């Protein structure tokens, strides 16, 4: 369930300007709450035990590079208050906490990983079970938001984008990493071949065939580069640009409020 808004920045509504100075704090949100979202959440709960290992094997560790780029392009800086939305096991949250430092502020998995990590800055992460479509934060609350492979998995992308916009301070950025729905026939064929002949067979070894067949369909139904930029502008972002990564297999949408 959602913590009350009062827990995170008081009653919903624009923060008094005087209090909009660079604040400290850090949050990572995952989960979701609707029947479709519940099904998706159950899917990720089933994957959670092998999630990080599968990614290191399948992407030859490259997913860590793509996540570092996503966090870098969010322009999160020391002392910022930042949000990693759809945090899962917390990869981007941990990277963000290194950016914002000790002064900066998947759930069970992420929290236990937090305990296993030694860097003091990690203690500033709050793991919050909430819905990306109804964020428990007031307006203009964060200096940066990252979404790592989350937008493709939420059930209402326009609503998620409007929520991200709402909680961002004016002039701040969202950096949204995901698979790239490429216009290049070669890239889409390579991506599809990899998923059919590497990803799904390997996942089947973990008894996760259906879960990874969902992965393929989620990419097929995802938005193209131009559609993502339009989605951001329609949500109210003043600027939006999508950049391809990993030879076009992945991409990062950088949107400024
Ligand atoms: C974290 C990544 C993708 C998000 C994601 C991962 C999953 O395991 C899912 C399972 C079920 C449903 C959804 C998801 C999901 O959204 C990216 C890294 C993991 C990828 C599975 C690796 C993909 C590899 C590339 C297709 C090919 C890489 C070629 C080269 C070695 C770089
Ligand atoms: C593919 S995982 C990505 C995890 C992590 N960001 C990463 O980069 O590895 C997608 C995550 O989005 C979460 N998610 C899906 N819909 C959500 C929603 N409406 N609200 C919050 N989290 C959601 C899932 O629970 C899952 O943890």
Q: How far is the CA of 149 from the centre of ligand 2 (A)?
A: 7
User: Are the CB atoms for 169 and 20 separated by under 8 Å?
Assistant: yes
Residue 187 inside a domain? The answer is: no
Q: Do residues 218 and 195 make contact, with C-beta atoms less than 8 angstroms apart?
A: no
Helices (H) and strands (E) in the chain, counts: 10, 7
The answer to whether residue 205 sits within a structural domain is: no
With the most atoms of ligand 2 within 8 angstroms of its CB, the residue from 153, 158, 208, 219 to mutate is: 153
Q: Which residues line ligand 2 (CB under 6 A)?
A: 29-32, 37, 40-41, 44, 86-88, 91-92, 106, 131-133, 148-150, 153-154
Q: Is the pLDDT of residue 51 over 50?
A: yes
CA-CA distances (angstroms) from residue 74 to 84, 87, 189, 221? Answer: 10, 15, 30, 25
The band of 165, judged by pLDDT with boundaries at 50, 70 and 90, is very high
The answer to the question of residue 65 being in a domain is yes
- Tell me which of 228 and 48 has the higher pLDDT: 228
What is the Cα–Cα distance from 141 to 211, expressed in whole angstroms? 34
Cβ of residue 40 lying under 6 Å from some atom of ligand 1: no
Pick the ligand that lies closest to the CA of residue 203.
1
- The per-residue pLDDT for 35 is 83
Is residue 60 domain-resident?
Answer: yes
Quote the pLDDT of residue 31. Answer: 63
CB-ligand 1 contact for 246 (6 Å cutoff): yes
Among all bound ligands, the one having the nearest atom to the CA of 210 is 1
Q: What is the pLDDT of residue 249?
A: 94
For 35, the domain range is 20-180+224-256
Alpha-carbon distances of 223 from 13, 40, 46, 227, 232, rounded to whole Å: 31, 19, 26, 5, 11
Q: How far apart are CA 187 and CA 249, in angstroms?
A: 7
Is residue 210 situated within a structural domain? no
For residue 243, pLDDT beyond 50: yes
Strand spans (E) along 12-103: 25-30, 81-85
Is the CB–ligand 1 distance for residue 212 below 6 Å? yes
Decide: 153 in ligand 1 pocket, CB within 6 A: yes
Query: What CATH code is carried by the domain that includes residue 40?
Result: 3.40.50.150
Closest atom of ligand 1 to CA, residue 152:
16
Q: Do the strands 81-85 and 250-256 form a parallel or antiparallel pair, or are they unpaired?
A: unpaired
Task: Name the residue with higher pLDDT: 38 or 170.
Answer: 170
Answer yes or no: is pLDDT of 191 > 60.
yes
* Per-residue pLDDT tens over the stretch 54-91: 999 999 999 999 999 999 999 999 989 999 999 998 99
Instruction: For residue 13, tell me if it sits in a domain.
Output: no
Residue 2 lies in a domain: no
47 lines ligand 1 (CB under 6 A): yes
Mean pLDDT of the residues in the chain: 85
Domain tally, the chain: 1
Report which of 96, 87, 148 is spatially closest to residue 122, judged by C-alpha positions.
96
Give me the interface pTM, i.e. the ipTM: 0.96
pLDDT surpasses 90 at 242: yes
Nearest CA to ligand 2 atom 7: 148
DSSP three-state, residue 182: coil
Is the beta carbon of 156 within 6 A of some atom in ligand 1? no
Q: Is position 230 within any domain?
A: yes
In this prediction, residues 246-252 reach a mean pLDDT of 95
Helix, strand, coil content of the chain in percent (nearest 5) = 50, 20, 30
């Amino acid at each position: 369930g959602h913590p009350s808004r009062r827990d995170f920045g008081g009653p919903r509504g624009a923060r008094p300007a005087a209090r909009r100075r660079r604040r400290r704090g850090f949050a990572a949100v995952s989960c979701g709450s609707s029947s479709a979202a519940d099904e998706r959440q159950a899917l990720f709960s089933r994957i959670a035990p092998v999630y990080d290992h599968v990614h290191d094997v399948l992407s030859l560790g490259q997913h860590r590079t793509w996540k570092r780029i996503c966090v870098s392009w969010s322009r999160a800086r020391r002392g910022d208050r930042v949000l990693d939305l759809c945090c899962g096991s917390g990869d981007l949250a941990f990277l963000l906490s290194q950016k914002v430092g000790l002064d900066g502020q998947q759930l069970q998995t992420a929290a236990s990983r937090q305990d296993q990590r030694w860097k003091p800055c990690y203690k500033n992460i709050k793991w919050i079970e909430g819905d990306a479509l109804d964020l428990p934060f007031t307006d203009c609350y964060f200096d940066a938001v990252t979404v790592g492979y989350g937008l493709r998995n939420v059930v209402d992308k326009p609503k998620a984008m409007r929520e991200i916009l709402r909680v961002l301070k004016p002039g701040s950025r969202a950096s949204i990493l995901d698979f790239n729905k490429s216009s290049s026939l070669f890239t889409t064929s390579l991506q599809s071949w990899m998923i059919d002949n590497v990803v799904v067979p390997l996942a089947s070894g973990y008894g996760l065939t259906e879960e990874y067949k969902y992965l393929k369909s989620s990419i097929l139904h995802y938005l193209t580069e131009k559609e993502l930029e339009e989605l951001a502008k329609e949500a109210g972002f003043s600027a939006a640009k999508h950049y391809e990564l990993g030879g076009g297999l992945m991409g990062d949408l950088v949107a400024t409020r």
